Amino acid sequence: MERMEPVAASSGEDDGLEPRLSCPWCDSDEVEKVSEYGPHLMVYQYVCRSCHSPFEVIKR
């Protein structure tokens, strides 16, 4: 049985490239990236672990 899975182009982690982020709502730095690409290609989607609010970070 063959199963095709979508493979995302992955060339490893981008260690050291991500700036230190903090939640814009509660200023916590307990944030987690939930999506590499949001509705727009130039944003990352993050969620705050502290207040669970999603927010976007503009990719530079």
Q: For residue 53, give the nearest of 18, 25, 21 by alpha carbon.
A: 25
Site string for Zn ion, 18-37 (x = CB under 5 A): -----x-xx-x---------
**Smaller CB distance to Zn ion: residue 34 or 51?**
51
CA distance 57 to 30: 15
**Smaller CB distance to Zn ion: residue 41 or 58?**
58
Asked if 51 is part of the footprint of Zn ion (rule: CB under 5 A), the reply reads yes
**Smaller CB distance to Zn ion: residue 38 or 50?**
50
